[in-house]
């Protein structure tokens, strides 16, 4: 074979080998790119990569609804309440002896559900709403000695709606502390609206804070349309969510003190020369120590035609804190008697409450 033919074969062989090498290299680069792309897609579901997804300029990332929805879910995870109540291994449905449509008994220390009935079904919370109003107010007020001027707009609409009121009069200037006690003990709509306006400028702005707090707490089925608890089809919660709201409230020293109070006195003013005395609607119907081994430490009542009689409370049993929520009770006295009985039977392994006389 002459030299020219050998050189020609050499060049052909070299060309083929180089082509193979180039094709192999391109394939590897492409595979590496695909691998990297997959990693981005797999990790894009975490909140940490939100900026990457939102700033990526390729159509693939900006138009794919799947990834956007996942990121939104990650960003809306609760920041305060990381443990949602779960049923205890021995959790029971409430027997038919107890006359509430929706109910939950929870050990607040262990976050275990002890007994339940329709606990995760949507219902109307009536004035139990004001516990969330109390939380938002306390967390946004720097000085409880600040005063608020009561206006006719805070009173007259509530009179027309026959809502509960604390008894403040137009042009009166109670302190925020006075208002908070009036809001919870008397379930005062006038006090609630005054607090809402002070904190947020209007009731609607205040309600927005309430709904933001509901998201922060990780509540699963709660939405507010007003700060008072007036009926609205879009104003709803569940027994479980209301229990979590109360559980969060009693961790705050000021909230717990107000919810636990039997009575509060407002000093005399020009409008109310004899002052005002707020007696807890809750404790006006019970003492809290009727049942052996049970100390009921505080609570809140509520009522609308649609919600029925509602009641929630917290108690100490065997050194642990229990929370009970009941809504759509048949009447206000069965709500009280069932509260006493449930704490005793399901919490303290005791007997049901037998009323000897009614307190009015």
Catalytic residues: 127, 130, 187
Strands 86-93 and 112-117: parallel
Long-range contacts of 241-244 (CB under 8 A, 24+ apart): 241/214, 242/104, 242/125, 242/128, 242/131, 242/312, 242/325, 242/327, 243/85, 243/104, 243/106, 243/312, 243/323, 243/324, 243/325, 244/81, 244/84, 244/85, 244/217, 244/218, 244/219
Q: How many whole angstroms separate alpha carbon 356 and alpha carbon 350?
A: 18
Which tokens in the block code for residue 319? 């050194």
Residue 344 has what DSSP assignment?
I
Burial of 350 (0-12, 13-18, 19+ CB in 10 A): middle
Q: How many whole angstroms separate alpha carbon 328 and alpha carbon 312?
A: 12
Q: How many whole angstroms separate alpha carbon 170 and alpha carbon 138?
A: 24
Q: How many whole angstroms separate alpha carbon 75 and alpha carbon 63?
A: 19
């Amino acid at each position: 074979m002459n030299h020219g033919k050998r050189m020609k074969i050499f060049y052909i062989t070299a060309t083929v080998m180089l082509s193979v090498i180039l094709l192999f290299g391109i394939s590897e680069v492409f595979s590496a790119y695909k691998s990297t792309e997959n990693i981005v897609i797999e990790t894009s579901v975490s909140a940490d990569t939100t900026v990457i997804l939102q700033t990526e300029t390729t159509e693939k990332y900006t138009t794919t609804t799947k990834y956007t929805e996942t990121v939104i879910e990650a960003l809306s995870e609760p920041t305060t309440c990381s443990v949602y109540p779960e049923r205890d291994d021995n959790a029971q449905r409430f027997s038919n002896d107890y006359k509430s449509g929706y109910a939950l008994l929870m050990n607040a220390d262990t976050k275990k559900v002890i007994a339940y009935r329709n606990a995760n079904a949507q219902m109307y919370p009536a004035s139990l709403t004001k516990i969330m109003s109390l939380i938002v107010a306390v967390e946004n007020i720097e000085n409880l000695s600040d005063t608020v001027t009561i206006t006719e707009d805070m009173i007259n609409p509530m009179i027309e709606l026959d809502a509960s009121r604390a008894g403040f009069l137009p042009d009166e200037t109670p302190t925020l502390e006075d208002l908070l006690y009036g809001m919870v003990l008397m379930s005062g709509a006038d006090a609630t609206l005054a607090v809402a306006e002070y904190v947020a400028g209007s009731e609607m702005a205040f309600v927005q804070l309430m709904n933001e707090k509901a998201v922060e707490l990780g509540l699963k089925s709660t939405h507010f349309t007003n700060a008072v608890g007036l009926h609205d089809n879009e104003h709803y919660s569940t027994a479980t969510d209301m229990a979590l709201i109360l559980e969060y409230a009693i961790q705050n020293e000021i909230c717990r003190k107000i919810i636990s109070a039997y009575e509060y006195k407002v000093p005399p003013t020009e409008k109310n020369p004899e002052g005002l005395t707020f007696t807890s609607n809750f404790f006006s119907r019970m003492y809290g120590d009727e049942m052996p081994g049970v100390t009921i430490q505080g609570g809140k009542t509520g009522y609308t035609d649609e919600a029925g009689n509602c009641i929630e409370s917290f108690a100490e049993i065997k050194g642990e804190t229990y929370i009970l929520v009941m809504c759509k009770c048949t009447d206000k006295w069965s709500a009280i008697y069932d509260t006493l009985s449930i704490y005793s039977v399901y919490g303290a392994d005791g007997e049901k409450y037998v009323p000897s006389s009614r307190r009015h």
